[in-house]
Amino acid sequence: MEAFTLLQPTSIWDNLLAFWRFEDMNVLWVLVGSILLGMSASVIGAFAFLRKRSLIGDALAHAALPGVMMAFLLFQTRDPLVMFLGAAGSSFIGFFLIDWLPKNTKIKPDAALAITLSFFFALGLMLLSYIQGLNVENKSGLDKILFGQAAAMTQDDIRLLGYVAITILITVALFFHKLRLIAFNRTYAITIGMAVNRYELLLALLIVMSVVVGLQLVGVVLMAAVLLTPIAAARFWSGELSHMLILSAILGALSAIISTQISYMAPAMPTGPWMVVSLSILFILSLLFAPQKGLLKRFLEHKLLRQKVAEENILRTLYKLVERNKVDQLDFNHSDIQALRSVPTEILQKTLKTLCRKQLIESSSKGFRLTKSGLDLATQLTRRHRLWENYLNEHAELTPEQVHNQAERIEHILTDSQEKQLQAELENADSDPHGNPIPSQATLTGGKS
């Protein structure tokens, strides 16, 4: 009797290399299909997202379920083209109801969406249960359409997915400018004579096609995430639509690669849910770290603005102390500053140290005084503050008691051009509503010692 040979467990590294060597051709097919689906669904889903119809993809995916079941009942085959036509027909009926109900009844669009989604999904589940009880061939695996099963995809499935995905991408490229105009300004598109209804029908057709071909891979329940999450993440990186679409496609393809690889290395892990998890992680990373609109950048900007306001408030307080002082005093201590502006001592000390380091003030045994550059900045802030008070008093009809707090906030963000516009609007006013003089431009540029 021959001795048993124990098989050594395959390492993660070996699995990783085997994946990229494509030793199993089915892996290559699933990878290609996932990438094509991720790219095409991300691009077409962007237009639904930008038109504030994000849940339309979810509703259409659920509406496709009874179509798949009816197609199987009628033809008793799981041919990809038959399944595709059944799902597309069912989704289009759902789309028609979602569009028709709000226009012809008192039902709101969100309610129409919810009613259609629930009805079609329930109908699909009933048909699925009925089929499970029938004694027919090829019925096994039909329930996998709920959550997707990439491993069950055949070459015919991938081929159909490829044709549809490429058709979607080419169509979007050809009609990009018209779809963009409808997404951002539908009313203007109508006024210039564009056949908006025709392009909206085209957009609906592309969304339905994208949803239907993705059911086998991602499933009815999760398809909406593949349509919407990439564009939601891309919006944090750019405001240009063409850039957003490219980024969406890249994120969709990246999630497809990650999910397919994980599914290969851990066969119990389905590709579709991992694709959605990957997209969600990419979304969170974009939300936190995107260089233009990420939360981290906004937090740092807000922190810098608060520091800038605190420093400029102290400079303006020193200016007002100099302005009000009758004995030519230039140095002021903590008590003098806190008598005019309420600020905790700890924060005041920290702010004064920062201003000294920036050489906007200088300290002595008598207290703190403005340097020439500090006086220039304080004079400019005071000028903008008092110009804005005058503007609110004259044009917004606010009382002198009401304008101060408004000016306290706006003085820190007014630009040079806005300051000139205010000066022109106010016809060279020389005092604010409280009777305080407005520092002239000549005083500002010349400075005071």
Q: Is the pLDDT of residue 5 over 70?
A: no
- Per residue, the 3-state secondary structure of 238-285, as one string, reads CCCHHHHHHHHHHHHHHHHHHHHHHHHHCCCCCHHHHHHHHHHHHHHH
Tell me if 216 sits within 8 A of 153, measured CB to CB.
yes
Local structure of 410: helix, strand or coil: helix
> So what's the pLDDT on residue 155?
81
Q: Is the pLDDT of residue 109 over 70?
A: yes
Q: Please, which pLDDT band fits residue 444 given cuts at 50, 70 and 90?
A: low
Tell me if 49 sits within 8 A of 204, measured CB to CB.
no
The tens digit of pLDDT for each residue in 74-84 reads: 988 888 889 88
Percent of the chain topping pLDDT 70: 95
What the block records as the tokens of 62 is 């659920």
In this predicted structure, which of 21-30, 54-63, 358-367, 406-415 has the lowest mean pLDDT? 21-30
Per-chain mean pLDDT for the chain: 86
Total Cβ atoms within 10 A of residue 367: 19
Q: Please, which pLDDT band fits residue 8 given cuts at 50, 70 and 90?
A: low
> So what's the pLDDT on residue 3?
60
How far is CA 2 from its chain centroid?
64
Alpha helix (H) residue ranges in 105-240: 109-132, 155-174, 176-184, 186-191, 196-218, 223-234
Q: Is the pLDDT of residue 447 over 50?
A: no
How far is CA 425 from its chain centroid?
39
> So what's the pLDDT on residue 133?
87
Q: How far apart are the first and last CA of the chain?
A: 105
Q: Is the pLDDT of residue 121 over 50?
A: yes
Quick one: average pLDDT of 384-406? Answer: 86
Total Cβ atoms within 10 A of residue 366: 11
Q: What is the pTM for the complete model shown?
A: 0.79
Q: Please, which pLDDT band fits residue 449 given cuts at 50, 70 and 90?
A: very low
Q: Please, which pLDDT band fits residue 309 given cuts at 50, 70 and 90?
A: very high
Local structure of 294: helix, strand or coil: coil
Total Cβ atoms within 10 A of residue 369: 18
